[in-house]
Amino acid sequence: MFPFESIEDFKVELTEEHELFRKAVRQFVEQYIEPRAMEIEKTDRIPDEIFEKAKELGLFGVGIPEEYGGQGGGHVMEAILMEEISRVSPAVGTAIAVRALFTTPILLFGTEEQKKKYVVPVARGEKFAAHANTEPCCGSDVAAIQTRAKKVNDHYVITGRKIFITGADKADYFVVSARTSPPKEGKRWWGITVFIVERDTPGLKVGQRFNVTGLRGERPHEVILDEVKVPAENIVGPVDQGFKVIVTTYDHTRVGIAAQAVGIAQGAFEKAFNYALQRQAFGRPIISFEGIAFKLADMLMMLEAARLLTYWSATLADRGDKRFIIAASLAKAYATEVAEKIANLAIKIHGGVGVDIETGVERYLRDALITTIYEGANDIQRLTIIRQLLKNLFGLSIQMT
């Protein structure tokens, strides 16, 4: 059981309600997303009708309490949503799920006024939102951010540049991290504060789009802040302690990235399995050859292990078990690497047509790559796993390089 205490710690709690929800999402995906998946790839744009239908179904509010405009549910429900959509279009999954990077810090650390003003319209799908933390200097090293926020009377003036910001082109609201004080000795993380910034605030500009390898239809952008004036009431959590706000947010949202990876792996496996049944070589289906059959068996083993890890971590999070942090890192690192491996094997099973864009197979590999990087690169997840292990067992806090 080490480092856990009982076999009961490994429960995966799923209900009939979860299955009914999964079927509803599957229907939405098959009716509105799947017919347009290749269109999204080619045009690099998600049609507005998909967002409108997602709004109508309340999908933007999954995991958000009903009192703040959401549909309720928890991490398990969010994982189901992310997996089912990403099986067909990881870009659409990202576009819908990114709102959690905005709502989570406010729900966990924000004021009642902030929740009602900003979370409610996002949960209802009336407004889009994004999370602006990554900078040219630093992604995984949150404590190193260089964006500055200077206090002037009853407001702050923010100046800096953020990059790789998902959903920035559509966002009405942003959560933005900025340094308000210099770090304390031995505490590099000290001095960062998190703000809510509205898109139409003078000085805020959404800049260039980054043409990253995958997620066509939902590419990230840069966000430029040039002396952006923000009222003090828009601070999320304690002043100078925003590092905790940011990393706690990622603890919660990385479960969704694991689920996205499971969806990618599922989609790639299904395509490979169906192709192996239909493709003939030397007078018989290629699934009858051990070289293909063994690949498919390996793919299924990895896929189901990743799924169990993901839904286990989501269950721990919904139970309020603090060990969900280590479980979420285990799931995120394993599931995303599995997605990459399965997508690669799917291409090999398809042979030459596997690298043909028109077949829709190679895009799973492109989309899988980014999942190993965002929401904390997988080497950071490995550091988190060991740090949490030592902290939980011995109360140790160590610096690792």
Nearest Cα to 213, choosing from 357, 363, 97?
A: 363
69 near 119, Cβ under 8 Å? Answer: yes
Pairing status of strand 173-179 against strand 129-132: parallel
35 CB contacts (<8 Å, ≥6 apart)? none
Report CA dihedral (30, 32, 34, 38) to the nearest 10 degrees. Answer: 180
How far is it, in rounded angstroms, from Cα 96 to Cα 170?
11
Residue with tokens 């009642």: 112
355 near 364, Cβ under 8 Å? Answer: no
Type of residue numbered 95:
A
How far is it, in rounded angstroms, from Cα 372 to Cα 119?
28
Q: Which is catalytic among the residues 41, 84, 362, 375? A: 375
Q: What angle do CA 71, 322, 392 make, to 5 degrees?
A: 170
262 near 252, Cβ under 8 Å? Answer: no
Residue 262: phi, psi to the nearest 5? -60, -40
Residue with tokens 């100046």: 159
Q: What angle do CA 353, 355, 360 make, to 5 degrees?
A: 80
Classified as helix, coil or strand, 245 is helix
Which stretches does DSSP call E strand in 232-384? 235-236, 280-281, 284-285
Nearest Cα to 304, choosing from 293, 292, 312, 315?
A: 312
Nearest Cα to 371, choosing from 310, 319, 326, 289?
A: 310
How far is it, in rounded angstroms, from Cα 80 to Cα 362?
24
Q: Is 16 tagged catalytic?
A: no
177 near 242, Cβ under 8 Å? Answer: yes
CB neighbours (10 Å) of residue 109? 19
Active-site residue list: 375
